[in-house]
Structures are given as structure tokens and as C-alpha cells.
Structure 1
Amino acid sequence: MTAVVTVATAAPYDVTVGRGLLPAAVDSLPEGAVRVLVVHSAPLRDRADELKGLIEATGRTPVLAEVPDAEEGKTAEVAAFCWRVLGSSDFTRSDVVMGMGGGAVTDLAGFVAATWLRGVAVVQIPTTVLAMVDAAVGGKTGINTTEGKNLVGAFHEPSAVWCDTDFLRTLPANDRVAGLAEVVKGGFIRDTRILEIVEAETPALIAPELDEHAMEVLEELIARKIRVKADVVAADLKESHLREILNYGHTFGHAIEYTERYQWRHGAAVSVGMVFVAELARLAGKLDDAAVDRHRSILTGLGLPVTYPGHRWDALLTAMKRDKKTRGDMLRFVILQGIGNPVRLEGPDPALLAGAYDAVSR
């Protein structure tokens, strides 16, 4: 099964979900591109060589840039390395960057493309569940700094995204499950059918190896979550209003990542973050007990964490004040007023925040 989701922004592009898509990804390279920078992580060296051969077969010149895996690759130093490769290889405005890897790699590749010559084309080949449903779609690019995650970045939409689910067969189960946190988020904020599928298919989704049925379920969930994001991004590319709903669970989740120096998987941190804002919504009188319990049930069923150590509130609060959604000194959270109905909560009473933290503390 191949699904195509169009992200209908001012410069529309397609996100394709299916198997064996690398040849099609190469065929989608912009006409006129002579050189192609393939930014990839070290574990994907063999697949990058495969992609290099496919690019060479079209008469173009591929250049490989291997970068550190995960968040270690999202630094100014690594971006500068990529810029040096582009400069030494004489890349022009008609050339293109390809990002092949997890969310950190696609974020980095997009940022490098956005900043080289004030913007060159980027084609994304996400290889993890998280990257497919979140990082590679929507045009957000960025790198981390010592002050926080994604504080330096740019909006730079890809010309195409190719979600080749063959990569998921060798993805460690823990990384697959961590990516499902973002899928579940899409169910809580808009497509509630996602939640029903996850609840019914949890054993298949968390199995050590993916059989054919599990692959089909996963592909449907990925396509559904991408549609959620595509609809939101088409209405609000630069996060001026609606797009903020995609940050459900992220303010607290990013604070965990920062406090843990990015040693937590993003999906694990967002999982706790979703339970935190569910508890916050309950305390604010917006969400009933059953909806909060459903958060815990779905996430723990997948093996995701729903608690965090109880002695780090001051550090987390400081980190949340650096969040991109904060305005001045006012914290802003996306909460639910019923499942599928996200709203914004601005400047909540500190007692509510402390109460929500107590509810997720261990």
C-alpha cells in the first residue's frame, strides 16, 4: 500500500508513505539540480551508499555528509561542517540537499538547506516513525543550543518527503514505540480513530519484530498522523495560531529533554508531557477523569513512561520558560477540552502547575 498526502501550503508538496521508495525519491529531485548533498547518520552508511548509486545513475553528482546520530548531530558545529562540504563542492542555488535519517538528521538537513545561499531545495527521507510523522513534515528546521532545543532554526518546506517504511523493519522496537507517542498525540488532538487503532493493535505495534499485519497497521497510523499535521500546517505554516496544537505535551516534554541533557528519547519525554497537560487540564476543569485515564492507559500499554522524578520541578520550570511558545514571562500550554478538542491555556496558576507535576511525579 502506498499513501500520498499533499501538504497544501503556498508551495505544495507530497508526503509518500510506502515501501521501496528510494528510486522514486531520486526521481523527485528538482529539475536542474546537478549536485546532491546527502546528509545521513552513521548507522545508515550502507543505505547512503545505495542512494549515492541511484543519484549517480541520473547523471547527477552526489556528495555524502555523515553526521553524528540523534541529538548529537543537531549542533552549530555539525551544521558548519555541512556548510563547509557544500562550499567545497561548489553547490549552487539550483542544487539540492537530501536528509536521510531520524528526526535530528531531517531537522539538521532542512536547516542546512534553509541557510545555504539563503535557501536551496531539500528532499527528506525520514527513516524512523518519529521522523516520518513529525520532524520531516511541516517545514520546521533547527538545531539545538546549550540554552535549549530547536531555539535556532527556520521554516523551510521540503520539495518532497518519502517515508519508506522498509526502514522500520530494522528500527529497534524502543525507537519504534517512542515514535508512536507522536502518533498518539495526533489522536488526542484531532483524529480520534488513531486512538482506537492503537488500543486495538497494541500487541502488534510493540512486538519485537514487525509482521505483515503490523506493517500495515503502522503504515495506516503513519499516514493518518501525517494527514493531521498536513491539515494543520496548510492552515498555519508559521505557528501563529492553529499550529500550536501540534505542541501538545511538548512544553513539558522539551523541558524533560533539556533537563536530561537529551538522554531521553523525544517520544518518551512527550509521553510524560501529554500526561502532565492532561492532569493540568483536569485541574483547570477542562478534562474529565476518563480522558486523563485514557492517556495513561494508551501510553503505558505501549510501554511509554507516564511519570518523572519528583525532585526536579525548579529545573523543569526554568526550562519551560525558555519554550518557544512562552510570551514574555507567561507560560502557554496546549491542553484538551475533551479528546479531539485542543485549546490554549495561558499563564496558569502556579498551584495548578505544581499539582499537575505532583500527579506525574514518582
Structure 2
Amino acid sequence: MTEWQLKLADRQTNILIEINASQHLFDQLVSLKGHQVLLLTDEHIAPLHLQRMQQQLSQYCQVVPVVLPAGEATKNLDQVKQLYTILMQHQFTRTDAIVALGGGVIGDLGALIASTYMRGMTLVQVPTTIIAQSDSSIGGKTAIDFQGIKNLIGTFYPAQTVIVDPKLLLTLPKRDLAAGMVEIIKCLLISSRQPEDAQLLEQLLLATKSSVRLSLDLLAVLVTRGLQIKSALVSRDFYDYKERRYLNFGHTIGHAVEALAQGDLLHGEAVGIGMIALMRAAVDHHELPLNTLVMTETLFKQLALPTEIPRTISHEAILARTRLDKKADDHGLTLVKINDVGQPFLVPMTHAAFKKWLGW
């Protein structure tokens, strides 16, 4: 078991990572005894885990289960209104809780509701995907999409408790597991703990050479490192002005490609494409060693991840979409680059300079 406390602004998040932690959920949530709990999940997760989780919590709490449609389209204002209505109908108060059981969509949406209903409820994250377990469940960002722009509306609201059970990842389809690994690979590439995290990348490279399916023990190590790396960055820069932006490596292009793919690419797949595009440009400008690019491309290919922008998506469309990124402004954008493993840095760029640097 690995456990630590992450202090962000005036709030503290208790983080627990343990294989089979979801089998004794209430042991970590004793403070919820006697309260109402909105147990929020989606139609993919519900058949796998909802009944077991609900039975555990129902011994001590009044549980209201809510199952939402799966997918990014669920993060919308209409869904927010429906959830507010359910909370009102069941007379939830700010001393009650939302338990978000799912991936990034459920985590983002549940956190937004928790942060705004009665100006703040208790929030517990029980992430079930590799991206959520290694990244999005901590850090306090909440969000919904609006008018086609990803995560345009949101708040900063860290969960009180995050319970990570790597065993839940064993139910993921191979494609989802591989796509989620992109965020962990990104974290290892930007991590300042070197050469240890470079060695972990080499271990992952060796493991994926023979099988896309990773051992549970290795998954637990990778998820833990992902959360530790993110914890260190967000604790220094909660509101996302400096070092926390390193976590956006690959996301400027990735978010654009994801939106333009219209559901054909998973989030991690699109981010991976964005990372490779940036690394190729960096190699062309002699800003990044070729072997770092080759290692990353090899790792992605062994995980059966795409490394090329789909032919149906033009460079012009991607660049136009990056202008809508929430971190862009009238002057341009702040790009995350790496000089090598463990050497991330930020570069302000005009949109014209970004286009020229990419060679597009």
C-alpha cells in the first residue's frame, strides 16, 4: 500500500494506492457514515463494479446510484442540470458526498458538481481507468465541455479522498489500457527524478515487446509513479501557471486532433500523436536527441498506438483548432517541449512561429 497527503491551496487530498483497495472501500471512508452518497458512474463501469461498491457503502450510508451514458459527450450543461435536480430531489446537503466511480469523464463531471452544489460537497474519486488512476483523479481540475471546446467550463476543487485500485484496470479493453499508458509515458518523460524514471521507461519498453498486457505489479508501479509526478508538479503550481503546464506535453496538438477526429480517437491516442509531432519537430531543429524520439515511437508502436495524424485531418485544421485552446491567447500559446528525458521547459510562441517551427 502507498499512501500520502497532497495539500493544494486550502484543501488536502488523501491518496491511497493499493491492489484490491476497492474491496474494502468504506475502510477509507468512515467519515461518510450516516450521510447521503451520490454514487456516480457510467454505463460501461456499472455492470462491472457498481453493485459491489453500492453494497459496501449501503451498510453505512444512504446511497443514490446514478448511471450516465459513457463518453466525452456526457460532459455537458444539460447533464449538470440533471445531476443538480437529483441532488435537490433527494435533499442532499453540503455535508453529503459524491463518489465518482469511473474514468476522466465521470471524475471531471462529478468534481464539477461537488464543487458547485451548495458551494461545495465532499468529493471522493475512485478512478477505474489508467488515465484517471495515474493523472486526472488528483490535481483539483473539474470540467465540462461547451460548444465543442473541451474542458471550457470548470473549477479547481481537489477531492478529499482518492482511492486507487490498480486491479480495476484488468477489466479495461486492450485499446483503452494502451491509450491510458500515454499519460504515464508523458509523466516519465517530463519527470525530474532521473535516471530512475528513464529506467522505468526502459522496463516498460521491454515489457511491451512481448505483450501489450502488463502485469498487475508493473501497472501498480506505473500508476503510482504517474500520481507521484503529478502530485509534485501540482503542489508547486496548483493554479496551472508554471511547472504544472509540463503535464500538457503533447496536449496542444492532441486536443485539436481529438476534437477533429470526432470520436475516432481516444484521448490518450490523440495526445500520443501530439507528443510524437512535437518530438519530431524538435529532432528536426536539433533540440532533442533522435534516440529519445525513437524510443517513444517504438514504445507507442509496441502498444499498438497510432503515431501519425489521420490523413483526413489537415495541418491547417489542427492549427486553427489550437487557437481555441483554453491556454491560448491573442498573442499565441505556451508550448511544452523537452530537451531530453527529464528536461521539460515552456516556450511562449506566436501562432505563426508555432506553424513555422512545426514545418507545417
Q: Same fold (TM over 0.5)?
A: yes
Give me the whole-angstrom Cα distance separating, in 2, the residues matched to 1:116 and 1:322: 28
User: Identical aligned pairs, as a percentage?
Assistant: 27
- Would you say 1:93 and 2:94 are equivalent positions? yes
SS in 2 for 1:131: helix
- Would you say 1:76 and 2:77 are equivalent positions? yes
SS in 1 for 2:239: coil
Q: Deviations over 1:324-353 (max 9, x none)?
A: 221324122100122211111211573663
Structure 1 counterpart of 2:328, one-letter code: T
Match of 1:6 in 2: 5
Structure 1 counterpart of 2:307, one-letter code: V
Q: List aligned pairs for 1:233-312, cutoff 5 A.
A: 233-310=234-311, 312=314
Give me the whole-angstrom Cα distance separating, in 1, the residues matched to 2:180 and 2:63: 30
Q: Are 1:8 and 1:230, in contact at CA under 8 Å, matched by a contact in 2?
A: no
Q: Deviations over 1:245-285 (max 9, x none)?
A: 00010111000111122431011001001111212333444
SS in 1 for 2:240: coil
Match of 1:45 in 2: 46
SS in 2 for 1:155: coil
Match of 1:16 in 2: 16
SS in 1 for 2:340: coil
Give me the whole-angstrom Cα distance separating, in 1, the residues matched to 2:351 and 2:117: 44
Please provide the CA RMSD for this pair: 2.0
Q: Are 1:32 and 1:94, in contact at CA under 8 Å, matched by a contact in 2?
A: no
- Which TM-score applies when normalising by structure 2? 0.91
Relative distance call for 1:28 and 1:18 in structure 2 (3 A) is closer
SS in 2 for 1:193: helix
**Unmatched runs of 5 consecutive residues or more in structure 1:** none
Give me the whole-angstrom Cα distance separating, in 1, the residues matched to 2:330 and 2:116: 28
Aligned residues: 351
Q: Are 1:7 and 1:233, in contact at CA under 8 Å, matched by a contact in 2?
A: no
Match of 1:200 in 2: 206
Q: Deviations over 1:300-320 (max 9, x none)?
A: 222111111355122211111
Q: Are 1:183 and 1:194, in contact at CA under 8 Å, matched by a contact in 2?
A: no
- Would you say 1:102 and 2:111 are equivalent positions? no
Shift of 1:357: 6.3
Match of 1:117 in 2: 118
Relative distance call for 1:132 and 1:205 in structure 2 (3 A) is farther
- Would you say 1:324 and 2:292 are equivalent positions? no
Shift of 1:24: 4.1
Structure 2 counterpart of 1:199, one-letter code: L
Q: List aligned pairs for 1:130-209, cutoff 5 A.
A: 130-190=131-191, 191-203=197-209, 206-207=212-213
Relative distance call for 1:205 and 1:239 in structure 2 (3 A) is farther
Give me the whole-angstrom Cα distance separating, in 2, the residues matched to 1:54 and 1:62: 10
Match of 1:226 in 2: 227
- Which TM-score applies when normalising by structure 1? 0.91
Shift of 1:16: 1.8
Relative distance call for 1:53 and 1:309 in structure 2 (3 A) is closer
Shift of 1:20: 2.2
Relative distance call for 1:352 and 1:318 in structure 2 (3 A) is closer
Structure 2 counterpart of 1:55, one-letter code: L
User: 4+ runs of 1 displaced by more than 4 Å?
Assistant: none
Q: List aligned pairs for 1:345-356, cutoff 5 A.
A: 345-347=347-349, 350=352, 353=355, 356=358
Match of 1:334 in 2: 336
Give me the whole-angstrom Cα distance separating, in 2, the residues matched to 1:204 and 1:224: 23
Give me the whole-angstrom Cα distance separating, in 2, the residues matched to 1:167 and 1:357: 42
Shift of 1:55: 1.4
Give me the whole-angstrom Cα distance separating, in 2, the residues matched to 1:144 and 1:349: 23
Shift of 1:170: 1.4
Shift of 1:128: 0.9
Give me the whole-angstrom Cα distance separating, in 2, the residues matched to 1:73 and 1:205: 33
Q: Are 1:184 and 1:194, in contact at CA under 8 Å, matched by a contact in 2?
A: no
Shift of 1:23: 5.0
Structure 2 counterpart of 1:176, one-letter code: L
Shift of 1:44: 2.4
Give me the whole-angstrom Cα distance separating, in 2, the residues matched to 1:188 and 1:312: 27
Q: Are 1:194 and 1:224, in contact at CA under 8 Å, matched by a contact in 2?
A: no
Match of 1:55 in 2: 57
Give me the whole-angstrom Cα distance separating, in 2, the residues matched to 1:62 and 1:354: 55
Give me the whole-angstrom Cα distance separating, in 1, the residues matched to 2:20 and 2:296: 34
SS in 1 for 2:345: strand
SS in 1 for 2:155: strand
Structure 1 counterpart of 2:333, one-letter code: L
Structure 1 counterpart of 2:188, one-letter code: G
Q: Are 2:108 and 2:143, in contact at CA under 8 Å, matched by a contact in 1?
A: yes
- The worse-fitting range, judged by mean Cα deviation, of 24-33 and 223-232 is 24-33
Q: Are 1:244 and 1:334, in contact at CA under 8 Å, matched by a contact in 2?
A: yes
